[in-house]
Amino acid sequence: MRQVYIESVFVCLLFAIYTVMWAAKRRLQRKRTGADPEVFAQSSSRLQLYMIRVFNVVRIYTLLMIVLHTLEIRFFGFFSRFDPLAALPWKVAGFGIGLAGLAVCLIAQTEMKSSWRVGIDETKDTELVTSGVFQYVRNPTYLGLFILNAGVWLIWPTIAMFIMNFLFIYTLDIQVRCEEDFLQAKFGEKYTDYLKHSKRYLPFIY
Separation in Å, CA 44 to CA 41, 49, 119, 121, 136 = 8, 8, 12, 10, 31
Question: Letter for the amino acid at 64?
Answer: L
111 within 8 A of 131, measured Cβ to Cβ: yes
Half-sphere exposure of 73 (CA within 13 A, CB side): 12
Instruction: Give residue-wise pLDDT tens across range 44-63.
Output: 888 888 888 888 888 888 88
Of 144, 169, 165, 143, residue with least CA distance to 155: 165
Phi, psi (degrees; rounded to nearest 5) at 199: -120, 160
To the nearest 10°, the Cα dihedral for 199, 200, 202, 206? -70
Instruction: Give residue-wise pLDDT tens across range 118-142.
Output: 888 888 878 899 999 999 999 999 9
Strand, coil or helix: what is 20? helix
Give the distance from CA 140 to its chain's centroid: 9
Per-residue pLDDT of the chain (206 residues; tens, 9 = 90+): 588 888 989 999 999 999 999 899 889 888 888 888 888 878 888 888 888 888 888 888 888 888 888 887 777 778 888 888 889 999 999 999 999 999 999 999 899 888 888 888 888 878 899 999 999 999 999 999 999 999 999 999 999 899 888 988 998 999 999 999 999 999 999 999 999 999 999 888 88
130 within 8 A of 194, measured Cβ to Cβ: yes
132: left (phi over 0), alpha (psi -120 to 50) or beta: left
Could you tell me the domains of the chain? 3-196 (1.20.120.1630)
